[in-house]
Amino acid sequence: MSYTYEYPHPAVTVDVAIFSIRHDALNVLLIKRALAPYQGEWALPGGFVEIDEALEHAAARELKEETGVDAGYLEQLYTFGRPDRDPRERVISVTYFALIPSDRLEIRAASDAEGVGWFPVASLPELAFDHAEILDTAFERLKAKLDYSTIAFQLMPATFTMPELRHVYEVITREEIDKRNFSKKILGLGVIEPTGEEKREGAHRPAKLYRVIDRSKVDVIK
């Protein structure tokens, strides 16, 4: 079967930069390309948009198909369209930015990828296409949004301690944060509450556990 148009049409893909916290570091999910071009190289999960499919749906679908991961939080990032960004044909990529809590990052078997893996943002392999640029844009978005939104909670498991949350901020901004001021600020947002439980972990005082009050209200501040 083939499809014919009066004027040339670009192909449209979606690519997803999905972040998570693993082993005290910010990680991003990559797939090893099974097919040319860039065969065997690492790339962001993504693929062609179906002709009757919403863009965001395509992003979530490709992510799931290629990596087995369900995005927790998903928002459009930017559209990359340099004419020569794909050697096959003109390809315009609508990219998405995603986050997933660290207790849900199991990778399941995927069909069209030889390999799937989480990579620390600090030590990435060479990436196919312009995916390094996409990832850089996504990382900048993440850092910017830490300041004026509450998306950081999208990286946390169902319950978490204040030191764990603070550590996530520190890992992303690469800056040390004062315990007291941080706690004051976060609690002042009014979006988390103590569970009443504690987390004992090592030879020291246990930390209180918190949970997000309403997961759907985790958005822009004020």
Partner DNA sequence: TGACTTAGTGTATAAATTACACGTATAGTT
Partner DNA sequence: AACTATACGTGTAATTTATACACTAAGTCA
Q: Cα(143)–Cα(148) distance, rounded to whole angstroms?
A: 10
12 binds its own copies (CB under 8 A): yes
Q: Toward DNA, which CB reaches closer, 97 or 210?
A: 210
β-sheet bridge partners, residue 127: 42
Distance CA 45, CA 93 (A): 12
* 178 touches DNA (CB under 7 A): yes
Angle CA(93)–CA(98)–CA(101) in degrees, nearest 5? Answer: 160
Q: Quick one: 36 or 203, whose CB is closer to DNA? A: 203
9 binds, among DNA, its own copies, none (CB under 5 to 8 A by kind): its own copies
Binding to its own copies by residue 48, rule CB under 8 A? yes
Q: In whole angstroms, what separates CA 94 from the centre of its chain?
A: 15
Does residue 175 touch DNA according to CB under 7 A?
A: no
| CA atoms of 128 and 163, how far apart (whole Å) | 36
Q: Which is nearer to its own copies, 54 or 213 (CB)?
A: 54
Residue type, 218: V
CA–CA distances in Å: residue 59 to residues 12, 51, 135, 193: 12, 14, 15, 32
131: which 2 tokens?
């995916």
Work out whether 204 is an interface residue with DNA (CB under 7 A): yes
Kindly state the smallest distance separating residue 220's Cβ from its own copies, in Å: 9
The interface partner of residue 81, options being its own copies, DNA, none and the CB cut-off 5 to 8 Å by kind, is its own copies
Candidate list 20, 93, 154, 161; residue touching DNA; CB under 7 A: 161
Do the Cβ atoms of 202 and 163 come closer than 8 Å? no
Residue type, position 124, single letter:
L
Q: Of 5 and 181, which has the nearer Cβ to its own copies?
A: 5
Q: Which residues pair with 28 in a beta bridge?
A: 19, 119
Find the shortest distance in angstroms from Cβ 98 to DNA: 27
Residue 57, token pair as written in the block: 């749906």
Annotate each residue in 48-77 with x if it binds DNA (CB under 7 A) or - if it does not, as one string. ------------------------------
Residue 54, binding choice from DNA, its own copies, none, Cβ under 5 to 8 Å by partner class? its own copies
**Residues binding its own copies (CB under 8 A):** 1-12, 48-49, 51-55, 76, 78-79, 81-83, 90, 92, 94
